[in-house]
Amino acid sequence: MTERSLSEIPGGVPPDAADPVSARIGEIAEARAGEPGPLLEILHDVQHEFGWLPESTVPALAHVLNLSRAEVHGVISFYSDLRTSPAADVEVAICRGEACQAVGAEALVAHAADRLGVGIGEQTADRSVGLEQIFCFGNCALGPTASVAGRLHGRVTPERLDALIDDTQAGSSTP
C-alpha cells in the first residue's frame, strides 16, 4: 500500500477555488465557523440559499470545519430534510401520523400518488410537483394535514388537495 499524501486525506483537500458554488458555500460556513457545533446550522443555511445541497457542499464544509468528508456526508444522509438533489417546484407533503391516519390520511396519500403518478419521495417527470410524507405537523385535531408549497392546510379532503395543487399550477405556462 502506498503512503498517502496530506492532500489525499479526506477533508484535507481544499475545495475547488474556481467553483463559485463551492466558494459561496465556504463563505456561508465561515460565517458560523466560530459557533459551537455549527455543521447542521450551516447545512440549513446552504439549503436555504440553494434549495438543496450541491455536490461541492461536502468537500467545502469538510475543509472549513476541519471534519472528514465522511462526517459531513454522514450528517447529510441522516436527516430527511436535507436534500442532495433539487426540490420540485411545488412540494406536497402529507402527514402520515396516527392522528391524521384516524381521519383518512392514508387515503389522501393514495389519492395524491394516483393523481400525480408518483410515489412518496418522488417528483413528476417535469419536476413541477414532488410528493413527500411527513410525520406530524402538530395539527392533530384538524387533520388530515398537508403542506402545499410551504403552506399548511387542515381538514384536507382529496378534492381540496386537488384544488390546492391546481392553484399552484395556475400561474405556470402549462395548462
CB of 19 or CB of 84, closer to other proteins: 84
Q: How far is the CB of 66 from other proteins (least distance, A)?
A: 13
Q: How far is the CB of 102 from other proteins (least distance, A)?
A: 4
Give CA separation, 51 vs 82, 86, 136, in Å: 10, 6, 22
129-134 and 90-95 beta bridge pairing: parallel
Q: How far is the CB of 13 from other proteins (least distance, A)?
A: 21
CB of 20 or CB of 74, closer to other proteins: 74
Residues that bind other proteins (CB under 8 A): 36-44, 71, 74-75, 78-82, 95-103, 134-143, 145, 152-155
CB of 63 or CB of 96, closer to other proteins: 96
CB of 22 or CB of 132, closer to other proteins: 132
53 vs 43: CA distance, rounded Å: 8
Among candidate residues 31, 28, 55, the one with its CA nearest the CA of residue 43? 28
Q: How far is the CB of 4 from other proteins (least distance, A)?
A: 26
Which phi and psi (to 5°) does residue 92 adopt?
-110, 115
CB of 19 or CB of 50, closer to other proteins: 50
Q: How far is the CB of 72 from other proteins (least distance, A)?
A: 10
Q: What string of H, E and C letters represents the secondary structure of 7-26?
A: HHCCCCCCCCCCCHHHHHHH
Q: Give residues with Cβ within 8 angstroms of 20, minimum separation 6.
A: none
